[in-house]
Chain A
Amino acid sequence: MSETPTPDGVQASDVAEGPPIDLPPSISGVEPVRSVRTPIRLEYDFIPSSAAQQYLRAYASKRILGNRSPVDGAVFVPPRGVDPRNGVVADEMVDLADTGHVGSFCITHLPIPGRKDLPVPYVSAWIHLDGADIGFLGLVAGCEAADVRIGMRVRAVWKPDAELGATAENVLHWEPTGDPDVPVDEAGNRAWAVKQAAKRGGDGA
């Protein structure tokens, strides 16, 4: 097979090899450098926001906090001290239940390296906590993956009290409560639209 010539007529094999290099005598015969590792390590003193600090401390005692928007009352969890839709400070803290419903979910059949405690398939889901208006990421277990569905009611399965801490890892997973499902049309992010429509109706609009 003939080689594809480069625009100036040089054969591709010439380009790959490169032109001969005349090394200065001081380094001729030295083993050529074929690769170089340049690790980068930078250290930071990370201080969480005041909202994250309150959230993590409460979470260590099995309380889930959210922020309420001063604009329209929407509740965000975890709290970040701001209503990101409106770019305003949202510092009112709200206690949320450790029950909710599955807003949407994903069944994964590939294991996560280093997570031998997580048998496949596992189900990650946006849990819409009762009282919150956005999802809260978690694992669903305690039932077959095939039985998980949008609108399914779930409750938190907490770590044993002695293992709780100011980390994001206090809820082992969410398990079905067996209560009747939230209708699909009112589940997940649709819940906010439903709530707003009801509010407009209630206002006589």
Chain B
Amino acid sequence: MVSSAIHQVEALTFTTDVQLMVPLINEARSAVGLTQADIGFTCSGSSDFLAGQGFSFVQTLDAVGAYPPISESHVEMDGAFALYEAWVKLQIGEIDTALVYSYGKSSPGSRRDVLAVQLDPYTVAPLWPDAHAIAALQARLLLESGAVSAEGLAEIAVRSQRHAVGNPNALRASAEATVAGLLGEPFVADPLRASDIAAESDGGCVVVLAAGDRARSLCERPAWIRGIDHRIDAHALGVRDLTRAPSAALAAAKAGAGDDRLDLAELHGPTTSQEHILAMEMGLGADTVVNPSGGALAADTLMAAGLVRIAEAARRISSGGADRALAHATSGPCLQQNLVCILEGE
């Protein structure tokens, strides 16, 4: 990865997806002196359920400059999965540059209800269980299993808020957050408090990928993707142990997470309980800084939060602040799908 651009705010009320992405895409491309004509493959991620409109990603292509016709694809998933598709193309060797972007504006609708439509459409979705309630069931099971305490979850929230200080794309940041203070918050969905649940944001993320010497010519210190893997657990909530995420463990192992020490990990955990499960499944040690950006708890842009994790990890490598990092994206209910990307400096 040779460049990235991120923009996250509470609500993009008067900004359309296209208006959001024009400056972001241009920022990421021009940071490495590229125009669209130099890009071998373009891949994006977004959701029609957020736009409330079919084929909404086609309009957003207006922001790319897709003329003369470009090689292009889209996933109805987080941009991290679009990055995976672009990475595969780079590995095949037919291209040496790729543009990946994703965006989400959940503010025009009700995010917790939109997320209900990803559930089993026959027996669960018709009940319209909102996303917070589903995550709370998982958190309750986790607490009762003894894997973590309420204080342990609050410590995750405190760390996120402190790390997010200074991150211009974080919505929830505080240098003064304390465990006692957060435990005094009322429940949003027992046992989850506001600080346990990701701050909802609108926004987008763009990254430019390049292969081999092309990357070295574009960027002083590229963040190299050394491993990337994504795995899926069962969709139905009732057939799996919600206190675990075997797909996250498997993706991390296949991506090579344990092959060397990790300086940092950017985890896409939409709740403190989910972040705890992820760190546990990936076997992250005390020498790995978790979510130096604040993570998804500080700002969770649907369809972009996973790509933002990869961009945040890559920036820390390119700046020389880290040598080896893990970045993670999730999708589906209760950590059903997990992607892990291992990034290294040279």
Residues of chain A whose beta carbon lies under 8 Å from any beta carbon of chain B: 36, 38, 40, 42-47, 49-50, 80-89
A42 and B49 form a contact (CB under 8 A): yes
A44 and B65 form a contact (CB under 8 A): no
**Interface residue ranges of B158-176 to A (CB < 8 Å):** none
A-B residue pair count with CB separations less than 8 angstroms: 69
| B18: chain A residues within 8 A (beta carbon) | 49, 80-82
A87 and B113 form a contact (CB under 8 A): no
**Interface residue ranges of B118-146 to A (CB < 8 Å):** 121-122, 125-126
- Chain A proximity of B206: nearest CB distance (Å): 12
| B25: chain A residues within 8 A (beta carbon) | 87
Q: Is B114 an interface residue (CB 8 A)?
A: yes
Proximity bits, B58-94, A CB within 8 Å = 1, else 0: 0101111111000000000000000000000000000
**Interface residue ranges of B16-37 to A (CB < 8 Å):** 16, 18-19, 22-23, 25-26, 36
- Chain A proximity of B11: nearest CB distance (Å): 10
| A89: chain B residues within 8 A (beta carbon) | 19, 22-23
A88 and B110 form a contact (CB under 8 A): no
- Since A44-B108, A85-B67 are in contact, a sample of 13 more A-B pairs with Cβ atoms closer than 8 Å, ordered by chain A residue number, is A38-B125, A40-B125, A42-B52, A42-B113, A44-B52, A45-B108, A46-B52, A46-B108, A47-B13, A86-B67, A87-B63, A87-B64, A88-B26
Main secondary structure of the interface of A (DSSP, over half): loop
B65 and A88 form a contact (CB under 8 A): yes
- Chain B proximity of A6: nearest CB distance (Å): 26
Residues of chain B whose beta carbon lies under 8 Å from any beta carbon of chain A: 13-14, 16, 18-19, 22-23, 25-26, 36, 49, 52, 59, 61-67, 108-110, 113-114, 117, 121-122, 125-126
- Chain A proximity of B124: nearest CB distance (Å): 10
Report the bound CA distance from A86 to B68 in whole Å: 9
A42 and B67 form a contact (CB under 8 A): no
Report the bound CA distance from A38 to B117 in whole Å: 10
Q: Which of A36, A38, A43 has the most CB of B within 10 A?
A: A38
Tell me whether A47 and B65 are in contact in the complex, defined as CB-CB below 8 angstroms, given that A42-B117, A87-B26 are known contacts: no
Report the bound CA distance from A44 to B48 in whole Å: 12
| A38: chain B residues within 8 A (beta carbon) | 121-122, 125-126
| A47: chain B residues within 8 A (beta carbon) | 13-14, 108
Q: Which of A43, A44, A83 has the most CB of B within 10 A?
A: A44
Report the bound CA distance from A36 to B127 in whole Å: 13
Report the bound CA distance from A153 to B49 in whole Å: 42
Q: 8 A-B contacts, Cβ less than 8 Å apart?
A: A40-B117, A47-B13, A47-B108, A49-B18, A49-B19, A84-B62, A86-B65, A88-B26
| B110: chain A residues within 8 A (beta carbon) | 42-43
Q: Which of B13, B26, B62 has the most CB of A within 10 A?
A: B62
Q: Which 10 A-B pairs have the closest CB atoms?
A: A87-B65, A85-B67, A84-B62, A44-B52, A49-B16, A38-B126, A44-B108, A44-B109, A86-B65, A82-B62
- Chain B proximity of A10: nearest CB distance (Å): 26
| B126: chain A residues within 8 A (beta carbon) | 36, 38
Q: Which residue of A lies closest to B21 (CB)?
A: A87
Q: Which of B18, B59, B125 has the most CB of A within 10 A?
A: B18
| A50: chain B residues within 8 A (beta carbon) | 14, 19
| A43: chain B residues within 8 A (beta carbon) | 109-110
| A85: chain B residues within 8 A (beta carbon) | 65-67
Tell me whether A82 and B22 are in contact in the complex, defined as CB-CB below 8 angstroms, given that A42-B52, A87-B65 are known contacts: yes
| B22: chain A residues within 8 A (beta carbon) | 82, 87-89
Report the bound CA distance from A78 to B226 in whole Å: 46
B65 and A42 form a contact (CB under 8 A): no
- Chain A proximity of B125: nearest CB distance (Å): 6
Contact of A42 among B63, B109, B121 (CB under 8 A): B109
| B125: chain A residues within 8 A (beta carbon) | 38, 40
Q: Which residue of B lies closest to A52 (CB)?
A: B16
| A83: chain B residues within 8 A (beta carbon) | 65
B67 and A36 form a contact (CB under 8 A): no
| A36: chain B residues within 8 A (beta carbon) | 122, 126
